[in-house]
């Protein structure tokens, strides 16, 4: 049914788009395919060398283009990061500081600018920004977080359910748009956004047992007691052995015998999908419940179950990246198409005992970024400089030959990646606003990161500073703020932070403004905050 309605919509669109048959000549502006997954940590891309899994198709982009080893985000959270990439502006400028405030689609974005300069534009997959997307000739987006199995998509404003696995459907319709729907006399910009590997981490039908026989050793700091860090690390709610709900381990029934709520998601499956799911997860879930694990054994089981599911969802993401690259090669489009692969932010894969993101610590702050463009980018190159998702919009406009508007705060890294310059910024600025004591409970903070040092200020609920020497302490286990031997470094980083905040237009007043906006969503804010402090809720937290 979903396919019939989609084809009807497509037919109406085609009536308004004059579609030619010839592909772009080599002299035409570059095409752009912007690939973004959700919560894909760089540790889970084999090109980055962490050895967790194999991603051969994403690795092809590293082999044939550039891999950025210190790409990072301005705000490690889904909606804010997506808004930054679209607008080229920090969260406190574009207004999308968290996952709850609405996004202003009326503001300038790079797809709108490309569209106004003759590009065919499309957005297919997850956007996680409220409202109908602007700047696209065609949009097919998931409502909110979307579903993995038989998901709804909003196709140019019309909501329709599609049968299949979300990752595969996103790839299928991205290729359909490229092959059947766009005006082939024009350059194109396709935003290809996967839901995966966002929670719940539900693998596709072909990968339900992909890692069942693999036992993963957790990171060395999986059982971190946070003695070397600060209050914010101690009072979070992101531990796999604490805050992660049994549903997220794909358990239909928890150890207490109660339903986890997973059935709502599973009920979307058709009989064939459900049969395969039950055959794969039924026996291993029963074995877990019968084992009655406790303590360290239970914690290690949680780590392995999380990672197996997470990596299995990435298998389908990698397949899709391969299919799009194969399509470009088959159609003679590969040489004149810029292909970007990234994630909306990084992700903790057990480091410090955590899952999720939000913190300015490296695993969440850093994000994968790979760019292929044979005309300008040398194959196999590595860039170790601090580029941010803030830079993507002006960079893509630069490649298209379009000046970035002065309102964009990022910088084009075209000359850097093309080997035409070695000059680049030395520090980057970060903000995080979404504190909720009933959620992940990561305290609001801002900070600055340089090549070696990182300074963070946790300013809400506490007033604490953290300073890390990434050369000596790359895993951020020891806060050296206040140590006499770092007094000069501390003073230097404070000065740089003040100058950078002023340059970008940020202030404590912005923090107060967005705190008041956040409180309007949670009228019981002070009550919940007190419950956390007195351990009436989340009593598992370590002091």
pLDDT computed for residue 533 by the predictor: 43
pLDDT computed for residue 221 by the predictor: 97
Asked whether 169 and 151 are in contact (CB, 8 A), the reply is yes
pLDDT computed for residue 26 by the predictor: 56
**Assigned domain for 233 exists:** yes
83: CATH: 3.40.720.10
**Assigned domain for 20 exists:** no
Query: Where do the H-state alpha helices sit in 375-461?
Result: 392-399, 414-417
Taking only the tens place, the pLDDT of each residue in 341-368 is 999 999 999 999 999 999 999 999 999 9
3-state secondary structure (DSSP) of residue 223: coil
pLDDT computed for residue 517 by the predictor: 77
**Assigned domain for 16 exists:** no
* Domain identity same for 366 and 438: no
- Domain with 62, as residue range(s), is 2-9+29-202+310-424
Among the candidates 386, 401, 424, a domain finishes at: 424
* Domain identity same for 455 and 411: no
**Nearest Cα residue to 238 out of 541, 543, 483:** 541
* Domain identity same for 320 and 406: yes
DSSP per residue over 93-116, as a string? HHS--SSSSPP-TTS--HHHHHHH
**Assigned domain for 284 exists:** yes
Quick one: how far is CA 243 from the chain centroid?
Answer: 20
pLDDT computed for residue 63 by the predictor: 98
In whole angstroms, give the CA distance from residue 351 to residue 357. Answer: 11
Residues of the chain with pLDDT under 50: 1-25, 525, 527-543
Among the candidates 240, 271, 305, a domain finishes at: 305
Strands 337-343 and 31-37: parallel
- Give the number of domains in the chain: 3
* Domain identity same for 128 and 84: yes
Peptide bond into 43 cis (omega under 30): no
* Domain identity same for 360 and 396: yes
Asked whether 365 and 442 are in contact (CB, 8 A), the reply is no
Strands 381-383 and 453-458: unpaired
* Domain identity same for 404 and 468: no
* Domain identity same for 36 and 62: yes
Q: Where are the beta strands (DSSP E) in 285-411?
A: 337-343, 369-372, 381-383
In whole angstroms, give the CA distance from residue 493 to residue 467. Answer: 9
**Assigned domain for 540 exists:** no
* Domain identity same for 76 and 159: yes
450: CATH: 3.30.1120.10
Question: Which residues, including other chains, have CB under 8 Å from residue 281's CB and lie 6 or more apart?
Answer: 208, 250
* Domain identity same for 63 and 183: yes
* Domain identity same for 44 and 158: yes
* Domain identity same for 282 and 361: no
**Assigned domain for 391 exists:** yes
**Assigned domain for 211 exists:** no
Strand (E) or helix (H) holding 125: strand 120-125
**Assigned domain for 214 exists:** no
Q: At what angle do helices 295-330 and 166-176 cross, to 10 degrees?
A: 10
pLDDT computed for residue 439 by the predictor: 82
Among the candidates 274, 305, 336, a domain finishes at: 305
Predicted TM-score (pTM) of this structure: 0.91
* Domain identity same for 105 and 193: yes
Asked whether 465 and 486 are in contact (CB, 8 A), the reply is no
């Amino acid at each position: 049914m979903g396919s019939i309605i989609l084809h009807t919509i497509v037919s109406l669109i085609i009536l308004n788009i004059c579609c030619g048959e010839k592909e772009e000549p080599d002299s035409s502006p570059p095409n752009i395919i912007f690939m973004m997954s959700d919560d894909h940590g760089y540790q889970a891309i084999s090109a980055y060398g962490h050895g967790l899994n194999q991603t051969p198709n994403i690795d092809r982009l590293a082999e044939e283009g550039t891999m950025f080893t210190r790409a990072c985000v301005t705000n490690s959270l889904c909606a804010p990061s997506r808004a930054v990439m679209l607008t080229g502006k920090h969260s406190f400028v574009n207004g999308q500081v968290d996952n709850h405030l609405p996004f202003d689609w009326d503001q300038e974005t790079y797809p709108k600018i490309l569209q106004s300069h003759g590009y065919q534009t499309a957005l297919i997959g997850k956007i996680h920004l409220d409202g109908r997307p602007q700047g696209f000739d065609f949009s097919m987006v998931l409502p909110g977080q979307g579903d993995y199995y038989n998901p709804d998509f909003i196709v140019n404003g019309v909501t329709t359910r599609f049968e299949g696995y979300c990752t595969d459907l996103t790839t299928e319709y991205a290729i359909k748009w490229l092959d059947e729907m766009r005006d082939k006399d024009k350059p194109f910009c396709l935003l290809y956004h996967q839901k995966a590997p966002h929670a719940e981490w539900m693998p596709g039908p072909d990968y339900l047992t992909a890692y069942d026989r693999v036992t993963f050793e957790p990171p060395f700091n999986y059982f971190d007691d946070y003695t070397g860090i600060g209050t914010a690390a101690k009072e979070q709610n992101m531990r796999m052995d604490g805050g992660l709900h049994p549903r997220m381990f794909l358990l239909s029934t928890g150890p207490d015998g109660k339903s986890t709520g997973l059935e709502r998601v599973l009920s979307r499956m058709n009989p064939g999908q459900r049969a395969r799911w039950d055959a794969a997860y039924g026996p291993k879930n029963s074995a877990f419940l019968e084992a009655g694990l406790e303590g360290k054994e239970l914690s290690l089981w949680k780590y392995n179950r999380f990672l197996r599911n997470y990596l299995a969802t990435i298998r389908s993401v990698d397949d899709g990246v391969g299919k799009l690259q194969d399509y470009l090669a088959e159609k003679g489009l590969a040489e004149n198409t810029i292909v970007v692969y990234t994630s909306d932010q990084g992700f903790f894969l057990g480091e410090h005992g955590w899952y999720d993101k939000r913190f300015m610590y490296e695993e969440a702050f850093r994000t994968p970024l790979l760019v292929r463009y044979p005309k300008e980018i040398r194959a196999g190159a590595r860039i170790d400089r601090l580029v941010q998702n803030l830079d993507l919009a002006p960079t893509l406009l630069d490649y298209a030959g379009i000046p970035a508007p002065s309102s964009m705060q990022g910088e084009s890294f075209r000359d850097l990646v093309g080997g035409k310059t070695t000059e680049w910024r030395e520090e980057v600025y970060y903000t995080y606003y979404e504190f909720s004591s009933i959620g992940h409970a990561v305290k609001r903070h801002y900070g600055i990161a340089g090549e070696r040092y990182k300074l963070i200020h946790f300013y809400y609920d506490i007033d604490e500073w953290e300073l890390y020497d990434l050369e000596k302490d790359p895993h951020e286990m020891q806060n050296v703020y206040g140590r006499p031997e770092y007094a000069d470094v501390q003073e230097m980083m404070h000065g740089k932070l003040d100058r950078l905040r002023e340059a970008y237009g940020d202030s404590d007043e912005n923090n107060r403004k967005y705190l008041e906006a956040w409180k309007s969503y949670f009228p019981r804010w002070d009550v919940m905050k007190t419950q956390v402090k007195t351990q009436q809720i989340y009593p598992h937290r370590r002091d």
